[in-house]
């Protein structure tokens, strides 16, 4: 089965607002892996959008239209007041994910 894909939009009110995610990646990776969701804007997104929550082991494939190296995606996450994330999760992990 194909992985589930969805879009998450996070808006920062100030530069000090934390997304609240710990991310990981391999050197040759084309995505970021969510290692942990902590207190922050992603946790707020999860409360408001339970059927599209960001969970550990989800992958971030694209950040603000950037599909590049993990370093480029992390830079885009840090630099932008609005982050549009294209997410992916293996279908067997979350059969109930809705759009």
More confident residue, 1 or 71: 71
Is pLDDT at 1 greater than 60 in this prediction? yes
> Any residues with CB less than 8 A from the CB of 4 and at least 6 apart, and which?
88, 89, 90, 91, 94, 97
pLDDT of residue 99: 41
Segment 62-72 shows an average pLDDT of 95
> Global pTM?
0.89
Any idea what the Cα angle at residue 33 is, between residues 19 and 87, rounded to 5°? 75
Q: Quick one: DSSP state of residue 3?
A: P
**What's the half-sphere exposure (Cβ side, CA atoms, 13 Å) at 51?**
4
pLDDT of residue 60: 97
pLDDT per residue as tens digits for the range 35-57 = 999 999 999 999 999 999 999 99
Q: Quick check: 41 and 19 in contact, CB under 8 A?
A: yes
Integer Cα distance of 31 and 15 in angstroms: 24
């Amino acid at each position: 089965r194909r992985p589930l894909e969805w879009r998450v939009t996070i808006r920062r009110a100030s530069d000090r607002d934390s997304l609240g995610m710990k991310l990981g990646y391999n050197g040759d990776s084309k995505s970021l892996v969510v290692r942990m969701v902590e207190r922050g804007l992603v946790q707020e997104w999860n409360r408001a959008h339970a059927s599209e929550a960001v969970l550990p082991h989800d992958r971030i494939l694209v950040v603000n239209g950037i599909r590049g190296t993990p370093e480029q995606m992390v830079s885009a996450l840090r630099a932008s007041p609005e982050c549009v994330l294209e997410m992916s999760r293996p279908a067997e992990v979350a059969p109930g994910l809705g759009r």
